[in-house]
Amino acid sequence: MRMTEYYRKWAIGPLRDYEACREYAHTIGAMRNTRPGMSRNHYLDHVDAISFIYDWKGRENIYISIAAYNPEKEIKGYPYLYFDFDCPENPELAISKGLEFARSVKNRYAAHPVTYLSGFKGLGVIIPLKTYVDWDTYTALWRTLIQPYNYLGKLIDTNVLDRRRLHRIPYTYNIKKGVRRLSRLISLNRQIIRPGEFDWDNYEPLDPGQVAIYRIKAELPLPRPIYLGGSKHRMKKLLPRKIEDLANTDSVPPCIRNIIDTMIKSGDIDHYARLVLVWYLKWTGFTVDNVVDFYRRYAKDYNERITRYQVEYAFGLKGSRKNYLMPSCRWMKEHGLCLECGWDRNPITYTYSKALVNEEIKELFYRIVRSKAIHV
Ligand code: SF4
């Protein structure tokens, strides 16, 4: 009875939608290690889902869709966001980074993610939502939340960004090559949560309206106006001199605004997001001291010596003394740091085209670009 109620909670989801169907799948031959990759899918309401789960639990892998459907198999919406932290070589790393991400979402938005061990090599993170969202909103929320913690795209399975994605139901078995392990719910501080203790009420949902989703088209710089006399700069505004203010400035691209905003609110963005921010600040005229002061104000793990060294290194003043450019949008995309605003050149030229930036710095940037024959 206890398990039946538990599985029903997953079927109806955090919005307690008893009318909804979910797509379920079971593998074929996982215990005998035959026909890898084969599975069978079904659309089930919460009543049929229970018998489906009992039929296959322990014999096959069982999955549930991230989407909720109506009985005509049309998507009603998405009741939660799903993230899969996965590292076959180092499952512990995936688990600790997944929990770190979940804790940061809690700090930033006061939303409480559900976390579960997948059984073998990673962690599932589910962020319940206050309302159903459509697919466009789902992807925008997903990207915005994960971007400052993407670890260069290495630990996050980006294949989960699929409108028909399914995920393992916690407290079913993960079966691989004939070996099975139970997937278990855990708390953000790694305590096991038993099925009878689970309830969506224990997890504060995320209000999608709280997350700044950067509306891409509106963000893009307009085509350059033709100036009939006067300065071509007169249409541009000066960039704010306070780093915090950049998070609300539309001449700063969404990828950078999101990193700054996350740093201010949670204080624990990942190393690469920090590095990208340093390069952006360097090429928009901020000094080493400005950047170090910013990290001193917000980074939870702040260490004066290490931070100063890393910032000076990124500015080309220490170590290899290379004058690092701001990475291109392509690089940002390849490393999971792009929020797909459509600029597709270089985040720094986004700002150069919209705001007044120190001319010498800008000139230097373009000079290096020309010398390397890079297209920006
Ligand atoms: S396209 Fe470029 S500027 Fe726009 S979000 Fe992606 S990396 Fe940033």
Position of tokens 């001291």?
A: 289
Distance 130 CA to ligand 1 centre (A): 28
Read off the pLDDT of residues 243-294 as tens digits, 9 standing for 90 and up: 999 999 999 999 999 999 999 998 989 999 999 999 999 999 999 999 999 9
* Cα 337 to middle of ligand 1, angstroms: 8
C-alpha 338 – ligand 1 centre gap (Å):
5
CATH architecture of the domain covering 2-209: Alpha-Beta Complex (3.90)
Assign 229 a pLDDT band (cuts: 50, 70, 90): very low
Distance CA 23, CA 344 (A): 36
Q: What percent of the chain has pLDDT over 70?
A: 92
Residue with CA closest to ligand 1 atom 8: 255
What number is the average pLDDT over the span 304-324?
93
340 Cα to the center of ligand 1, angstroms: 6
Closest to 131 (Cα-Cα) out of 270, 15, 52:
15
Q: Which of 16-20, 23-27, 158-162, 201-205 has the lowest mean pLDDT?
A: 158-162
What is the CA(348)–ligand 1 centre distance, in A? 9
Distance 65 CA to ligand 1 centre (A): 30
Q: Parse the chain into domains and list their residue ranges.
A: 2-209, 216-224+233-371
Label residue 39 by pLDDT band (50, 70, 90).
confident
pTM of the shown model: 0.86
Distance CA 257, CA 281 (A): 12
Q: Give the residue, 321 or 376, on which the prediction is more confident.
A: 321
CA–CA gap between residue 170 and residue 118 (Å, rounded): 7
CATH code of the domain made up of 216-224+233-371: 1.10.579.10
Q: What is the pLDDT of residue 225?
A: 47
Instruction: Name which residue sits closest to atom 6 of ligand 1, judged by CA.
Output: 338
> 46-56 and 2-12 are packed helices; what angle lies between their axes, rounded to 10 degrees?
120
Confidence of residue 11 (pLDDT cuts 50, 70, 90): very high
> For ligand 1, atom 4, which residue shows the shortest CA distance?
341
What local confidence, expressed as pLDDT, does residue 228 receive? 45
CA-nearest residue for atom 2, ligand 1, is: 329
Give the pocket of ligand 1 (CB within 6 Å): 253-255, 329, 332, 338-341, 343-344, 347, 350
Pocket test for ligand 1, best of 146, 251, 339 (most atoms within 8 A of CB): 339
d(CA 318, CA 139): 39
Tell me what pLDDT residue 52 has. Answer: 96
Tell me which residue has its CA closest to atom 3 in ligand 1.
Answer: 347
How far, in Å, are 39, 137, 254, 342, 344 from residue 215 at the CA level? 38, 10, 9, 11, 15
Give the model confidence (pLDDT) of 362-373 as tens digits: 999 999 998 876
**Residue at token pair 């688990």:** 95
